[in-house]
Amino acid sequence: MNPRLDRLQPYPFERLRRLFADLQQPADREPIALSIGEPRHALPGFVEPVLRDAIQGYNHYPTTRGEPALRETIAAWLQRRFQLDGVDANRQVLPVSGTREALFAIAQAVVAEKPGARVLMPNPFYQIYEGAALLAGAEPAFYDLAAENGYLPDFSAVDAATWDAVQLVYICNPGNPAGACMSESAMQELIGLADRHDFVIAADECYSEIYHPDAEPPAGLLGAAARMGRTGFERCIVFHSLSKRSNLPGLRSGFVAGDAALLDRFALYRTYHGCTLPPPTQAVSRAAWADEAHVADNRALYAEKFAAVVPILQEVLDVEPPAAGFYLWPRVPDGDDEAFARRLYAEAGVTVLAGRYLSRSDPETGHNPGAGHVRMALVAEPAACIEAAHRIAALYQETIF
């Protein structure tokens, strides 16, 4: 077997299952899970009729690059959303079966294996980045997302030896778990570093459409590149998904866009990898990228939940609504995220994710930037999210008073 598989760490939810193995949830209350980031708002209304009309498509093999009509719809969406003058639907867009597999696959296509090769990624992070780096034969290197920096990257803290060895840098923007958003100028600085140190930037923007309805939409890497006069998006690729934007995590549909030369090589890799979008999935995807009304409804529902839940939690926790995304990332009262998660599970019937499971400890200092936080996903119905917040507040008010 491939010995690199031994380096893959258990997924956060597996660690959470072990954390709760000796506990029972209260028998007299409905359990509420705020742990998994699976959108649970209703499917957009167009999904069923579009799928029905497209059903004959199962009769055909899909192509790796997807149907031109889907790529054109995506290119038009990108142009509108990020104020881009032009996106070449044939060369700068590639539909993918969800961003998870594409974020993994990009490292396999980009990394040239050699001793000391590095892939730089945020910490806390989406664990796929780490596995992708390891299986591509590179060592993961991390940049911490710390409260002192507003949970944003501080690339000035990355040392020269790391920059010399880096081939690929992942950014997650808006971030999971903290929801912080990089500015366009911060992304332009990173593009400058990419030129200087010769690396590719993979921007995971799968939460970019979940923001407060009254706020400016989060900036994106392609917009940052275009505003530098870089219309070929050299060294830049973005990852977008219908999972969060359109409540379609089961559809497995997203896209990759950016530097045409990179995408050309990536498409070659994917021909062998074999991940294509079934034609009916492409039809639903096209309808979803062409419609904004359901996305606005989705944003409004998340905003409603944050407005209701955050003030209740603020009675007992240091917590703020995120700039974007659907997670809360509070600090826990006594600093022990595992103990806090256990207590909520056993005494309140509420499941949250211990922050340390989303990050890696510094091997020298032992510091883990996720420790002391928990992640709460406000994906359930408003009533369940509010009920969970009341249970947490009640539990900790008992302790405080």
Interface residues toward ligand PLP, by CB under 6 A: 37, 98-100, 103, 126, 172, 176, 204, 206, 241, 243, 249, 254
CB 74 within 8 A of CB 93: yes
Nearer to ligand PLP, 176 or 285 (CB): 176
Q: Smallest distance from the beta carbon of 200 to ligand PLP, in angstroms?
A: 17
Q: Smallest distance from the beta carbon of 280 to ligand PLP, in angstroms?
A: 18
Instruction: Name 386's Cβ contacts closer than 8 Å, sequence gap at least 6.
Output: 305, 308, 309, 312
- Neighbouring C-alpha atoms within 13 Å toward the C-beta of 242: 30
Nearer to ligand PLP, 124 or 280 (CB): 124
Nearer to ligand PLP, 84 or 171 (CB): 171
Nearer to ligand PLP, 203 or 262 (CB): 203
CB 256 within 8 A of CB 106: yes
Taking the C-alpha atoms of residue 401 and residue 281, their distance in angstroms, rounded to an integer, is 54
Nearer to ligand PLP, 73 or 208 (CB): 208
Nearer to ligand PLP, 43 or 228 (CB): 43
Q: Smallest distance from the beta carbon of 103 to ligand PLP, in angstroms?
A: 6
Q: Smallest distance from the beta carbon of 166 to ligand PLP, in angstroms?
A: 20
Which residues in 63-101 are b (16+ Cβ under 10 Å) and which e? ebbbbeebbbbbbebbeebbebeebebebbbbbbbbbbb
Nearer to ligand PLP, 125 or 396 (CB): 125
Nearer to ligand PLP, 82 or 326 (CB): 326
| Phi/psi of residue 130, nearest 5 degrees | -65, -50
Pairing, β 139-144 against β 118-123: parallel
Q: Smallest distance from the beta carbon of 251 to ligand PLP, in angstroms?
A: 9
Taking the C-alpha atoms of residue 104 and residue 127, their distance in angstroms, rounded to an integer, is 10
Residue written as tokens 């993918």? 96
Q: Smallest distance from the beta carbon of 210 to ligand PLP, in angstroms?
A: 11
Q: Smallest distance from the beta carbon of 171 to ligand PLP, in angstroms?
A: 10
Q: Which tokens hold the place of 246?
A: 């359109």
Residue 139: closest CA among 167, 160, 159, 100: 167
Residue 30: closest CA among 380, 350, 323, 390: 350
Q: Which tokens hold the place of 397?
A: 């008010």
Q: Smallest distance from the beta carbon of 241 to ligand PLP, in angstroms?
A: 3
